[in-house]
């Protein structure tokens, strides 16, 4: 409770600083305060075009993320199981990681047009991260337990679930935390360059053209909000899938301690 009060206090302090600076500047084109931003935000909420943009950007960036996550996981597992596959795919992964996102944006515009842009960019940003962390996580699996599994002839799925999954979980969750923020930032940046119809990027671009700084701020808040919600959702699902055992055992522990 005390912690919450402190955090709220700090937040209110910086919001106040922002508002005071906005008043001192006195030019809404350069800087709008939190009040104007909130006003613009609620104005947007009432527009059908707002929801259309939110849904379409969320759909594209989210689809890119899910595809990259699935394929990254699959390829990472493949590279672990067959090192030759890992060596074969390594140049592609290195290429995706080193080529600047801006170059990919232009290429993607040429290849897929503006519509598929955010999906492609979000995919390209997320895939290498998930791939590399999956591979590293699987390689971190306990060799002693793997030998034990071999001697006792433990079957494939129990082995994956009880030996590989606990090793992979921290790697995959940390990769997701980074990748989720990155895919939203680069996905929206790509939309600003490509301005596909009915997208958040297009709206940001329009805000720039019409000098409506309050809408620029409001859309920025929308992106932060969406990215935060998407991150929470993905991490929730992932942690449930990956960390179920540890949670179950923690509660059992606590019960045991109370009894004893």
Q: Which of residues 166, 187, 194, 196 is near another protein by CB under 8 A?
A: 166
Nearest residue (CB) to another protein, 15 versus 254? 254
Q: Is 254 a binder of another protein (CB under 8 A)?
A: no
Site for another protein contains 154 (CB under 8 A) = yes
Site for another protein in 179-208 (CB under 8 A): none
How many C-alpha atoms does 259 have within 13 Å on its Cβ side? 6
Place of tokens 């919600």: 229
**Integer Cα distance of 125 and 90 in angstroms:** 16
Q: Residue 156: exposed, middle, or buried by beta-carbon count in 10 A (0-12, 13-18, 19+)?
A: exposed
Spell out the residues 6+ positions from residue 260 whose beta carbon is closer than 8 angstroms to its own. none
- 6 vs 162, beta carbon nearer another protein: 162
Q: Which is nearer to another protein, 147 or 197 (CB)?
A: 147
Examine residue 255 and tell whether it contacts another protein (CB under 8 A). Answer: yes
| Inter-axis angle of helices 83-98 and 48-81, nearest 10 | 140
- Binding of another protein by 252 (CB under 8 A): yes
x-marked contacts with another protein along 28-67 as a string, rule CB under 8 A: ----------------------------------------
Binders of another protein among 108-147, rule CB under 8 A? 144-145, 147
**Closest approach of Cβ 223 to another protein, in Å?**
38
Least distance CB 142 / another protein (angstroms)? 8
Using the structure block, give the residue that is written with the tokens 């989210």.
62
For position 240 contacting another protein by CB under 8 A, the verdict is: no
* Distances from the Cα of 144 to the Cα of 35, 141, 147, 148, angstroms: 59, 9, 5, 6
For position 151 contacting another protein by CB under 8 A, the verdict is yes
Within 8 A by CB and 6+ apart from 236, the residues are none
**Can residue 241 be called a binding residue for another protein (CB under 8 A)?**
no
C-alpha 84/C-alpha 97 separation (Å) is: 20
**Residue 52 and residue 198 in contact, taking contact as beta carbons nearer than 8 Å:** yes
Could you tell me how many residues of this chain bind another protein (CB under 8 A)? 23
Contact positions toward another protein, by CB under 8 A?
144-145, 147-148, 150-155, 158, 162-163, 166, 245-246, 249, 252-253, 255-256, 259-260
């Amino acid at each position: 409770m005390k912690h919450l009060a402190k955090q709220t206090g700090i937040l209110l302090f910086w919001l106040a600083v922002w508002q005071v600076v906005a008043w001192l500047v006195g030019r809404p084109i350069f800087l709008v305060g939190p009040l104007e931003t909130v006003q613009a935000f609620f104005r947007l909420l009432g527009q059908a075009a707002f929801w259309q943009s939110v849904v379409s950007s969320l759909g594209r960036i989210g689809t890119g993320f899910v595809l990259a996550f699935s394929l990254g996981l699959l390829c990472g597992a493949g590279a672990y199981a067959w090192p030759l596959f890992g060596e074969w795919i390594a140049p592609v992964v290195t290429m995706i990681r080193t080529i600047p996102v801006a170059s990919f944006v232009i290429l993607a515009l040429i290849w897929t047009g503006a519509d598929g842009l955010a999906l492609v960019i979000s995919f390209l940003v997320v895939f290498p991260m998930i791939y590399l962390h999956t591979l590293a996580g699987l390689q971190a699996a306990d060799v002693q337990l793997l030998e034990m599994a071999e001697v006792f002839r433990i079957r494939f799925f129990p082995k994956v679930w009880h030996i590989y999954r606990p090793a992979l979980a921290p790697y995959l969750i940390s990769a997701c935390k980074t990748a989720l923020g990155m895919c939203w930032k680069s996905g929206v940046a790509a939309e600003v360059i490509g301005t596909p119809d009915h997208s958040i990027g297009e709206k940001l671009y329009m805000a720039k053209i019409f000098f409506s700084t309050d809408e620029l701020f409001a859309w920025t808040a929308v992106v932060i909000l969406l990215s935060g919600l998407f991150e929470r959702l993905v991490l929730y699902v992932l942690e449930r899938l990956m960390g179920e055992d540890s949670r179950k055992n923690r509660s059992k522990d606590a019960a045991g301690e109370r009894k004893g």
